[in-house]
Amino acid sequence: MGPGPDELVREEIRRVTAYHVPPAQGMVKLDAMENPYRLPPELAREMGARLAEVAINRYPDPSGELLKRRLRETMRIDASLELLLGNGSDEILQIISLALAKPGATVLSVEPSFVVYRLAATAAGMRYASVSLREDFSLDAPALLRAIERERPALTWIAYPNNPTGNLFPREAILEAVRASAGLVAVDEAYYAFSGGASMLDDVGRHPNLIVVRTVSKLGLAGLRLGVAIAPPGWIHELDKLRMPYNVNVLTAAAADFLLERHDVFDRQTAAIVAERARLEAVLDGMERVTRFPSAANFVLVRVPDGPGAFEALRQRGILVRTFHGSHPLLAHCLRLTVGTPDENTRMLDALAAALG
Ligand code: PMP
């Protein structure tokens, strides 16, 4: 046999378990924190007409200026800050990791949190270190500060709110980590739309080593793949060199520009999701065998007596949620339930009640 992947691919990549997306055809899909609502038909038609005019024979505008202007407006981004556009915020995580991957550099995160922080660190050839959350998934702020001192991370990731736990860590504890760190602290606000306005965006620019990452995915545009990093211009100037020139395609740029101008549609949808989250929480709290964790996101984490069993029972009834049992000791028997439409949530809750007996 000639040289193949076993010999040629980097050892640490061969050890990685690929990010797994299970098949969901025909299922009630409550596993990926998607907004369950489609666009109103009239708006979808209007968007179609707009997209028909897009010159798909041409490469995208490499600067993305028009779209950046729209994002600035929608997210109320201060004029002193700059934006980096990504093919989803996943790509932003990758770009930031690559930029900071000096030989021997370390990435720090809390655990359990979003697994792509580790994946992106590994892909960039960086060391990865983590600080465990407490058993109730609250942030152990002293432990985080000790880890920053011990590991000297070039990059620290904080998801705010956190995934898969759903909670918000205290803002002051994050700022303390920013002040204590000689590296960059990246605050990932993927679930901002559901957080009741909790954000570190106002702190960007006040600290030279703080950057905020956002996405339009959870808002209702997951299929477009568009994320953004917001930072002082010096950071974006460097990070932009690692962005492939045409990473945001013309259809995504045109659709996002069109839809973000009409963001009241998504504001209404996210308000409906937040209201449903409250209903879901109340029903879950009434279930004797369910421990429910607080959420500022569009999902709710629960612990049940038999996580894998409940996951399978839901699947049998055509409902796909996410099981975390086995992925981290603190997540034993935990399920993450994405908030769907009222009807989907009712079906999920009925199935869960039946599974728990
Ligand atoms: N950050 C967090 C915390 C997430 O949970 C996710 C999606 N699961 C992302 C980033 C990536 O989102 P996207 O690439 O769709 O912008």
Q: What is the pLDDT of residue 209?
A: 98
* Span between the terminal Cα atoms of the chain, in Å: 55
Cα 124 to Cα 93: distance, rounded to the nearest angstrom = 11
Other CB atoms within 10 A of residue 236 CB:
18
Q: Are 261 and 43 in contact (CB under 8 A)?
A: no
The percent of residues in the chain predicted with pLDDT above 90, rounded, is: 96
- Tell me: cis bond preceding 164? Omega within 30 of 0 counts: yes
- List, for residues 173-197, the tens digit of each pLDDT value: 999 999 999 999 999 999 999 999 9
Is the C-beta atom of 97 inside 6 A of ligand 1?
Answer: no
Q: Read off the pLDDT band of 357 (50, 70, 90).
A: confident
Output the residue whose Cα is nearest ligand 1's atom 4. 190
Q: CA angle 118-293-317, nearest 5°?
A: 90
Q: What is the pLDDT of residue 21?
A: 85
Atom of ligand 1 nearest to the CA of 113: 3
Is the C-beta atom of 217 inside 6 A of ligand 1?
Answer: yes
Output the residue whose Cα is nearest ligand 1's atom 1. 190
What would the mean pLDDT of 226-234 be, rounded to a whole number?
A: 98
Atom of ligand 1 nearest to the CA of 93: 10
Residues 6+ apart with CB under 8 A from 205: 78, 80, 81, 232
Output the residue whose Cα is nearest ligand 1's atom 5. 163
- List, for residues 268-327, the tens digit of each pLDDT value: 999 999 999 999 999 999 999 999 999 999 999 999 999 999 999 999 999 999 999 999
Residues 6+ apart with CB under 8 A from 71: 77, 83, 228, 256, 260
Average pLDDT over the chain, rounded to an integer: 97
Mutate to test the pocket of ligand 1, among 96, 119, 192, 215 (most ligand atoms within 8 A of CB): 215
Cα 9 to Cα 16: distance, rounded to the nearest angstrom = 11
